C-alpha cells in the first residue's frame, strides 16, 4: 500500500537514495533538506524531476521543522512514515573538537531527531498509527577510537529510539532503528574537522592515526569490494513494507563488527528490566487503535 513518507537530509547519500527507492516502490515521498533554493537547488531539482516532492527543512531550526512537517500534512492530508536520516559526521582526536563543535554535532544528530518527532507525532497519534525510522550507526553500539564524539551522538540516539518505541507502542506508532556499517557516502567529506589543531599536535604519532583510518576507508570505498550504500535504502524499503507489529526494533545493515552481539545482549537486559518495572507490555506494538476497542 502506498504511504506518505517524509525523509530528512535527503539531498545526497542514504537520504537521497532512500527517497528515490521508496518513490520507485510507489510511495509518495517528500524529500527534505536545507537551502532548497540555494546550495541544494540542483539536488532539489533532480529529485523533483523524478516525481519526488521537495520540502525545505533544517533539522537544527524549530520553526523550519514545524513548518516543513506541517506543509507535508497540508499537502497529503496525513503522514505515515518519518525517516530521520539527517546527520553530521565527526572523526579525529576528541580533545581537538571544541565544545561548540560538539554542540553542533548533537544539534543535528540528536536534538534534530527530537524536533522532527515533536512535529510529526501529533499526526501519528491522531491517526492511531505511524512509523518512525531513525538512522543510527553500528558506532552507536561499539566504539572506534577517534570516532567517539560521533559515536556518542549515535549512542544517545539508541536510548532516544528505545524510549520512544516504548512510549508510543500502545498508540500504534512503531519506531525502528537502522544501524548502517561504514559505506561510501559523502559523510567523510562533509564531516567536522577538528577546530583546535594544536590539541591534536600534542598527541604526537597518535594524532596521525585518525587520518590513516580514514585513508584506509577511502581505499576500501574505491575498491571493487566496496560495500554498496544502496543496501541501506533497500533495508529501509523493506521496513516500510512490513506489516505493523512485525518489525524488528533494530536492523543492522552491512558488517556488524560486534554490534549484533551487543544488540542481542541489550534486548535481553531491556526485556528483563521492563518486566521488572511491570511495563513489559510496552515492548509490543499495539496495532489496533484504542478507540476501536469499544
For the chain, give every domain's residue range. 4-293
CATH number of 4-293: 3.40.50.720
Closest CA relative to residue 139, chosen from 171, 174, 107, 187: 187
- State mean pLDDT over 58-64: 98
pLDDT of residue 293: 42
Interval 100-134: pLDDT, tens = 999 999 999 999 999 999 999 999 999 999 999 99
pTM of the model: 0.94
All cell numbers assigned to 171: 498508540
Residue 150 bears catalytic tag: yes
Which of 32-46, 135-149, 257-271, 277-291 has the lowest average pLDDT?
277-291
The per-residue DSSP string of the chain comes to ---EEEESS-SSHHHHHHHHHHHHTT-EEEEEES-TTTTTHHHHHHHHHTT-EEEE--TT-HHHHHHHHHHHHHHHS---EEEE-----B-S-GGGS-HHHHHHHHIIIIIHHHHHHHHHHHHHHHHT-EEEEEE--GGGTS--TT-HHHHHHHHHHHHHHHHHHHHHGGGTEEEEEEEE---SSTHHHHSB--S-HHHHHTTGGGGGHHHHHHHHHHHHHTSTT---THHHHHHHHHHHHSPTT---SEEEES--TTHHHHHHHHHHHHHHHHHHTT-GGGGS---S-GGGG-
The pLDDT of residue 13 is above 60: yes
pLDDT band at 287 (very low <50, low <70, confident <90, very high): confident
pLDDT of residue 288: 62
pLDDT higher for 227 or 84? 84
The pLDDT of residue 193 is above 60: yes
Computed from CA positions of residues 178, 179, 185, 191, in that sequence, does the dihedral angle turn out positive or negative? positive
Amino acid at each position: 500500500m502506498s504511504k506518505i513518507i517524509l525523509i530528512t537530509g535527503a539531498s545526497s547519500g542514504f537520504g537521497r537514495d532512500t527517497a528515490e527507492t521508496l518513490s520507485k516502490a510507489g510511495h509518495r515521498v517528500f524529500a527534505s533538506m536545507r537551502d532548497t533554493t540555494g546550495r541544494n537547488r540542483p539536488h532539489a531539482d533532480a529529485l523533483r524531476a523524478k516525481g519526488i516532492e521537495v520540502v525545505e527543512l533544517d533539522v537544527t531550526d524549530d520553526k523550519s521543522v514545524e513548518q516543513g512537517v506541517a506543509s507535508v500534512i497540508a499537502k497529503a492530508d496525513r503522514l505515515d512514515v518519518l525517516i530521520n536520516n539527517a546527520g553530521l559526521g565527526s572523526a579525529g582526536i576528541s580533545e581537538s573538537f571544541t565544545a561548540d563543535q560538539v554542540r553542533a554535532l548533537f544539534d543535528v544528530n540528536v536534538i534534530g531527531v527530537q524536533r522532527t518527532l515533536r512535529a510529526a507525532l501529533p499526526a501519528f497519534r491522531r491517526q492511531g498509527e505511524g512509523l518512525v525510522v531513525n538512522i543510527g550507526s553500528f558506532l552507536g553500539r561499539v566504539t572506534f577510537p577517534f570516532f567517539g564524539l560521533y559515536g556518542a551522538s549515535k549512542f544517545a540516539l539508541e536510548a532516544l529510539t528505545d524510549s520512544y518505541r516504548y512510549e508510543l507502542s500502545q498508540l500504534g506508532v512503531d519506531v525502528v532503528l537502522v544501524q548502517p556499517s561504514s559505506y561510501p557516502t559523502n559523510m567523510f567529506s562533509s564531516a567536522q574537522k577538528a577546530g583546535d589543531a594544536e590539541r591534536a599536535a600534542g598527541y604526537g604519532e597518535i594524532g596521525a592515526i585518525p587520518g590513516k583510518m580514514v585513508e584506509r576507508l577511502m581505499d576500501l570505498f574505491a575498491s571493487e569490494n566496496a560495500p554498496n550504500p544502496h543496501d541501506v535504502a533497500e533495508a529501509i524499503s523493506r521496513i516500510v513494507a512490513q506489516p505493523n507489529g512485525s518489525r524488528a526494533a533494530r536492523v543492522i545493515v552491512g558488517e556488524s563488527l560486534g554490534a549484533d552481539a551487543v544488540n542481542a545482549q541489550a534486548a535481553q537486559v531491556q526485556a528483563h528490566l521492563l518486566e521488572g518495572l511491570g511495563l513489559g507490555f510496552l515492548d509490543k506494538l499495539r496495532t489496533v487503535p484504542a478507540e476501536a476497542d469499544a
